Structure 1
Amino acid sequence: MQLSGHEDGQTPVDADDAQYLTADYSWIRTRDELNDAEASNITDALIWLEDEDLAASDLLHQSFLRELHHRMFGEVWSWAGRIRTRDTTIGVPPVQIQERLQALLGDTLFWIEHGTYGSSELCVRFHHQLVFIHPFVNGNGRHARLAAGALADSLGLGPDHLSWGARSGQSPSEARRRYLDALRAADKGDYTDLLANAVS
């Protein structure tokens, strides 16, 4: 039974969101269409990332994080790659984003140089803090997972080291629930479940 009056996958894109679609994708009307367009854009970003062969020192810059986000969503959304300027339900206030990002990038370089954490945990902590800051209007989780994966690859772990539950055999909905639960635990300083999720 469809309480919304729409078939599965035919939920309309919110009008407030639709105004930020790029001209090439202004025809999008449903969530399924949006998901397909974003998936195609992210695939292009993955190809770009694979061709770059970046060192950790190349990745740990705000300009790289913005470029990655733009590569992931820029074909579809006009706000892609732009630092958030309004409050959202999660994330730090916009006036703190630049400072918090710079602190995270500096901390991550320090962790690498001093061997503060093992490489997997270092990448997971970087990912969590990037999600917590929530620098963009949307796509922060996907962006942080891709950025952390690129960081893991640069540290010699390989491009597929962080799978975020994809190899666990769980359904996508269950994997997502466990990922979100693990993020909440990490908010309280416990990275055990997030680390397990990341490499499972």
Structure 2
Amino acid sequence: MPDPLFDHDDNANTPLTAEEREGLIPSYITLRHELNEAEQINIGAAQRWADSRRRDILDRGFLSELHQRMFGDVWRWAGQYRTTARNIGVEAYRIAMDAQQAVDDARYWVEHATYPPDEIAVRFSHRLVAIHPFPNGNGRFSRLAGDLLALQLGQPPFTWGSVSLVDAGETRARYIEVLQAADNHDIRPLLLFARS
């Protein structure tokens, strides 16, 4: 199933396709807005879980558990790396290696103060979304991971445009634009967006 960040449907009453419903746990969900609501409730619970623990976000096991907690009440595959190709992200066989490299790089950046704390957290979030490790929810997962790393580094969580990026057309388009700039090695627009 595509990430709603990149495959946005302006009609929340659009029925989910059979492919989209594959792996779905709640049987009552048939429409996009029902899926968004169920995911948001699950993400809220994951946020409370993460806020109640002092964990090192720079751990691949924690990251998988975070995704599982964000989507585990909605999707059977939550927390499991994707095994199929996507139009964005690395090839599936590279996910574990690239995710570990992202964690290792961020640990190095923290240890050696390579960048200011905000930039470390934003670069880490960008790396995760660029890898696109899971079948769905990668944008929301990477932003929460960035927020948690910012907190771990003594900074407040980011605002990411101050609206839900699943439903916000103009802000969502801006987010995609700044992600693409970061893909082209210009991190500044994403840094500014993260605190906007």
TM-score by structure 2 length? 0.91
Structure 2 regions of 5+ residues with no counterpart? 1-9
**Secondary structure, aligned partner of 2:162:** coil
The separation in 2 between residues aligned to 1:114 and 1:62, in whole angstroms, is 20
Q: Distance in 1 between matches of 2:168 and 2:13?
A: 19
Of 15, 24, 42, which aligns to 1:21? 24
Q: What TM-score results when the alignment is normalised by the length of structure 1?
A: 0.89
String of CA shifts for 1:109-146, please: whole Å, max 9, x gaps: 00001010011111111011100000000000000000
Look up the equivalent residue of 1:179 and give its one-letter code: Y
Identify the residue that residue 128 of structure 2 maps to in structure 1.
130
Could you give the per-residue CA deviations for residues 133-191 of structure 1, whole angstroms, max 9, x where no partner exists? 00000000000000010000000002x3x111108xxx932111111100000000001
Structure with bigger gyration radius: 1
TM superposition shift of 1:26: 1.6
Secondary structure at the aligned position of 1:48 is classed as: helix
Q: Give me the whole-angstrom Cα distance separating, in 2, the residues matched to 1:154 and 1:147.
A: 10
- Of 160, 166, 173 in structure 1, the residue corresponding to residue 169 of structure 2 is 173
Counterpart Cα distance in 2 of 1:15 and 1:31 = 12
Number of residues of Structure 1 aligned to a counterpart in Structure 2: 184
* 1:13-48 superposed Cα distances (whole Å, 9 cap, x missing partner): 1111202111xx022110011111001100100110
Higher relative contact order (CA 8 A, sep 6+): 2
Residue 102 of structure 1 deviates from its aligned partner by 0.8
Q: Which amino acid aligns with 2:70?
A: M
Correspondence for 1:3: none
Return the match for 2:108 from 107, 110, 118.
110
Percent identity over paired residues: 45
CA shift for structure 1 position 61: 1.1
Q: Distance in 1 between matches of 2:22 and 2:159?
A: 33
Instruction: Find the residue that maps to 1:59 and give its secondary structure.
Output: coil
- Of the structure 1 ranges 68-77 and 172-181, higher mean CA displacement relative to structure 2 is found in 172-181
Q: Which runs of 4+ in 1 moved over 3 A?
A: none
Q: Please report the RMSD computed on the Cα atoms of aligned residues, expressed in angstroms.
A: 1.4
